[in-house]
Chains A and B, each alone.
Chain A
Amino acid sequence: MVKKIISVAICAIVLLFVYAPILLLVVYSFDKSNVINIHEFSFSFDLYKQLFRDSKIMNILLNTIWLALAAAGLSTILGTAGAIGIFYSRRRFAKPIYGVSQIPVINAEIVTAISLALLFSMIALYRTYFSLIVGHMVLCTPFVVLSVLPKLKQMDSNTYEAALDLGASPAQALFKIVIPQIFSGILSGFMLSVTLSLDDYIITAFTKPKTFDTISTYVYNAVKNGANSSTPALRALSALIFVVMIAVVLLANLRARKSASKEPSKG
């Protein structure tokens, strides 16, 4: 009994720590006042009205989403092809490619960021949309490879051979046999890429065009310029993002668990 109480207490305290800031922001996004004051709260939608009227922030939100979708889409194509290539290559080719692919995963993000800054300034593409997209692809693609490779290993390799024997071209066999079998890995690679791109600050800061902002860079700069309290609409934006992300992740996971329990053979 005592053990159970201690267990619950530990979990409750950590959960409080994890969710307190989020809860605070969500509650005070409905406050009339621009500054959070614990003794004063008057309910209003003012901050949300401000937020949706702020075309600059809306624009930045769209930028962030477009960048994430573009980077994740390109990374997924490149990474899936890469994983298939690595899987079927001879060890002496596959190993170095896989090894280099791990560098951005292990490396500190700031080091990846400045290494790209050095490269792009050398070829006069520093702080362009090209460097931004490539930067995010460097961040995301290795994770796509890491998501797809295990699915290739689980796949029954005989099905591909069978398709060839039955007269399919290698391309047909690839798209009709291999891709469907590894699709869950491709999808999780894509979702992971979207999350990584949305979450990123450091690589974005070093590769983005000067006038381009994502939510991360905009909020960081707002804090830097001491404008945190003068843009309270950001509180409403944060609250919205918190609630939407929590809902999305919970739904995605509950659905994943449901389908997993339907087909118990697949881990």
Chain B
Amino acid sequence: MEKIRFSRRQLCIPYALFLFLFVVIPMLLILFYAFTEEIDGAITFSFANFAGFFTSRAKLSTLLMSFTVAIISTAICLLVAYPVAYVLARSSLRKKNVLLMIFILPMWINFVLRITALRELLDLLGLLESQNYLNTIIGMVYDFLPFMILPLYTTLEKLDKNYLEAAADLGGNKFTVFTKVTFPLSMPGVISGITMVFMPSMTNYVVSDTLSNFNITILGKLIDEYFTTYDNWHMGSMISIILLVIIFLTMLATGGFKDSEKEARGANLW
């Protein structure tokens, strides 16, 4: 019996089909739902959701608040992660990889459980139910810190030390060497860290729900509510489109269309 001929190229057919069915078509459906509405059971093309979003004070303030929470969380993550990554990368310890490991280890543990544990701690400190915004920001920083430390460490570790020595030889003091050489050279890490923390901080509503006792509605929660509570999938899809535009714009602004997330997800560590 003759074997069926196959070429290695054909191996991507199942994956291509899978992506078409479960990624491309669903994304097109969001677009379709966003620009249609249902009136008396008939689906018609409309800009009502678009107009509805931008004329609703509540939705716009949710967007603004969510943006603010995400910016503050990202900034704090960067401020906390940079010194840690810097110290680890600069350390002369032989086992600094193991040390790094200890810092980012929690990202392999179910985040819902970790956030619930943080909730217990905040409750103990008397912050729960009184400091909803603060708790949400603490939670975002807690959850996403490893995703900031990892890319920063990777770039700082690879940084060519000859540049730093050259800068020092040319008369730069420690501060100028850092601001003029180290920091600019670590920008790729900073950028990939920001892209990895910013978007989830706008959308991961498990964190805000758990730590604010369901009192804070971030953008991701708003989408969830339109699907599960209000049962208005058209508006939910429109908010998703707006979120996608924001993601696209941050990517464009930071030039972050790279495989950075894989690195941060620790693919290289398993």
Interface residues of A (CB under 8 A from B): 7, 10-11, 14-15, 17-22, 24-25, 28, 36, 38, 78-79, 81-82, 84-90, 93-94, 97, 100-112, 114-119, 122, 134, 137-138, 141, 143, 145-147, 169-171, 174, 178, 187-189, 191-192, 195-196, 198-199, 201-202, 206, 215-216, 219-220, 223-224, 228, 234-235, 237-238, 241-242, 245-246, 248-250, 252-254, 256-257
Contacts and interface: CB of A to CB of B under 8 A. Distances in A.
Interface string B219-240: 0100110010000010011001
Contacts of A102: 257
Please classify the interface of chain B as helix (H, G, I), strand (E, B), loop, or mixed, using the class held by over half of its residues. Answer: helix
Contacts of A138: 22-23
A146 B117 contact: no
The 5 closest A-B pairs by CB, nearest first: A85-B12, A82-B15, A115-B26, A85-B11, A21-B117
A13 to B, nearest CB: 9
B84 A22 contact: no
Nearest to A120: B26
A43 B102 CA distance: 28
Nearest to A145: B15
Contact of A191 (B110, B214, B270): B270
Contacts of A237: 113
6 contacts: A18-B142, A86-B15, A106-B247, A216-B112, A228-B116, A250-B105
Interface of B: 3, 5-16, 18-27, 29-30, 33, 80, 83-84, 87-88, 91, 97-99, 101-103, 105-106, 108-114, 116-121, 123-124, 142, 145, 199-200, 202-206, 209-210, 214, 220, 223-224, 227, 233, 236-237, 240, 243-244, 247, 251, 257, 259, 261-262, 265-270
B109 A82 contact: no
Contacts, number: 261
Nearest to A119: B26
B26 A82 contact: no
B30 A111 contact: yes
A202 B112 CA distance: 11
B109 A192 contact: no
Contact of A220 (B3, B26, B103, B112): B112
Contact of B270 (A10, A108, A188): A188
Contact of A85 (B3, B8, B266): B8
Given A78-B14, A117-B227, A220-B209, A108 B120 contact: no
B255 to A, nearest CB: 13
A266 to B, nearest CB: 12
Nearest to B27: A115
A108 B103 contact: no
A81 B12 contact: yes
A101 B202 CA distance: 23
Given A97-B12, A118-B26, A254-B98, A108 B262 contact: no
Provide the main secondary structure of the chain A interface: helix
Nearest to A19: B106
Given A89-B9, A111-B244, A188-B267, A101 B145 contact: no
B113 A238 contact: yes
* Residue of A21, A117, A141, A257 with most partner-chain B CB within 10 A: A21
Nearest to A90: B9
Nearest to A110: B220
Nearest to B16: A97
A223 B84 contact: no
A219 to B, nearest CB: 5
A134 B261 contact: no
A53 to B, nearest CB: 20
A7 B96 CA distance: 14
B116 A223 contact: yes
A147 B145 CA distance: 23
Contacts of B200: 108-109
A235 B84 CA distance: 30
A89 B8 CA distance: 8
B102 to A, nearest CB: 7
Q: For B18, B80, B145, B233, which residue has the most chain A Cβ atoms within 10 angstroms? A: B18
A111 B248 CA distance: 13
Contacts of A189: 267
B30 A115 contact: yes
A24 B124 contact: yes
B182 to A, nearest CB: 15
A227 B233 CA distance: 29
A22 B202 CA distance: 25
A181 to B, nearest CB: 13
A110 B6 contact: no
